[in-house]
Amino acid sequence: IKKTGILEFVTSDLKMEDIGGLENLKRWLAKRNKSWLDSAREYGLPAPKGVLITGVPGGGKSLISKAISSMWHLPLLRLDMGKIFSGIVGSSEENMRKAIYTAEAIAPSILWIDEIEKGFSGLNGSGDSGTSSRIFGQFLTWMQEKTAPVFVIATANNISGLPPELMRKGRFDEIFFVDLPTLRERKEILHVHLKKRLTSPRVTGAFNITDEVLQRLADLCDGFVGAEIEQLVIDALFEAYANDRPVLYEDFERAIQNTVPLSITQAEQIRSIREWA
């Protein structure tokens, strides 16, 4: 299961400060530290189950999963839902069983189910009798009954096809939607990536990361997701490197002009998913 990449340990020292925006998630997490997993019972709280994070591709869902694990100092086990279905009868259930078993064996831990929609989309409840449906049943039962401190983070680009049972109250503690970043969030994301990369005075030259510069660039990035903002910073720096000179404000402007963000149709789709969610 490990060799196939279905299940892997992810190590990361990512911090919340390395992530721009996602304020609602950060606020929710700020009230919950690692000990909350253990002390829930002592405080008469229901055992923490996990969160479902959905929204735009490249918006930071993977980042936040990694940041939670390093914030709580807990091992992060990533289950790739796209790969779980092996085609061999019984193996997919076995894969899910092993993932749960491993997460419980190393608890307290985090089980990150990436692209959960790839496994459970299109199921229509208990009447369904395929492999996906058996795994879904297995997963729901475990979510309902689990007592080991395993926090589940399920991430999905699209939840519109997921069975409603998964989203019912009591399955996940919270469902978060990662939207296209606002102007303020784009400023934050730009700041994260500029600060991270502009470390050499030879490259930085006269370029200053001022609030005004961030504001102007972020304004031009309307409709960009975090991954696209990171890419434009890389493109601008590459331009400077290729010309063997420090980076200029104009390099960022040009990189923005050359970026094709999520198309209008995708943005439309995302909006309708959000309304649905």
The DSSP bridge pattern shows strands 174-178 and 76-80 to be unpaired
- Least Å from the CB of residue 145 to ligand ATP: 29
DSSP output for 151-185: EEEEEES--TTS-HHHHSBTTBSEEEEEPSP-HHH
* Pick 108 or 226: Cβ nearer ligand ATP: 226
Question: Which residue has its beta carbon closest to ligand ATP?
Answer: 226
* Pick 91 or 215: Cβ nearer ligand ATP: 215
- Least Å from the CB of residue 114 to ligand ATP: 7
Q: Which residue has the tokens 């109250």?
A: 169
- Least Å from the CB of residue 269 to ligand ATP: 14
- Least Å from the CB of residue 127 to ligand ATP: 30
* Pick 37 or 68: Cβ nearer ligand ATP: 68
- Least Å from the CB of residue 170 to ligand ATP: 26
Helix axes 249-257, 226-242, angle to 10 degrees: 130
Burial environment of residue 90 by CB neighbours within 10 A (0 to 12, 13 to 18, 19 or more): exposed
* Pick 129 or 199: Cβ nearer ligand ATP: 199
Encoded tokens for 63: 């980042």
Which parts of this chain interact with ligand ATP (CB under 6 A)? 19-22, 57-63, 157, 189, 192, 226-227, 230
Q: Which residue has the tokens 């209008």?
A: 264
CA distances from 141 to 39, 109, 130 (A): 23, 19, 17
* Pick 68 or 107: Cβ nearer ligand ATP: 68
Encoded tokens for 215: 């504001």
